[in-house]
Amino acid sequence: MGRNFLFKLPNEIDKLMLLAAEIRQLPEYLQLDGKSRYTLDLALEEMAGNIIRYGYDVPGERIIEIGIGFDASEVTLTLRDDGKPFNPMTADPPPTGDVEERDIGGVGVYLVRSMVRSMEYRREEGRNVLTLRIGRGE
């Protein structure tokens, strides 16, 4: 049986960076292999960052719930927010071609999708619920 953590993140990038630093100090995080740590860091920063940057039309403080579960075979990251509906599983892949000629953005979601074991999205009671499963030692 693993451990589960629940964090309440205000929709501010600075607060996201503080939360990421706090998570990196958890004993369960420190027991992860390097690839699992990197994938968790990237998934948290990309997905929560996108919610903060693009999820809300109306200014003001909102709370994003971040759940992290650690067990023997995987890490589960769940993000819940009351922003605009957005299913990252249906997002278009990033454009191909020269980097210099492309618009900025669109790569993070695709990269996270390619690195996690699974990604599930649902809209529940006016909230986005995104669950990512990260394999340990894969």
Let me know if 123 is exposed, middle or buried by CB neighbors in 10 A (0-12, 13-18, 19+): exposed
Q: To which residue do tokens 């719930």 refer? A: 65
- pLDDT recorded at residue 108: 84
Return the half-sphere exposure (C-beta side, CA atoms, 13 A cut-off) of residue 108.
14
- pLDDT recorded at residue 95: 65
Cα radius of gyration rounded to whole Å, the chain? 15
The stretches in the chain having pLDDT less than 50 are 102
- pLDDT recorded at residue 100: 55
Give the count of beta carbons closer than 10 Å to the beta carbon of residue 115.
18
- pLDDT recorded at residue 102: 46
Name the β-bridge partners of 121. 130
Q: To which residue do tokens 């509906």 refer? A: 85
Name the β-bridge partners of 120. 131
- Which tokens hold the place of 86? 């957005």
CB 78 within 8 A of CB 130: yes
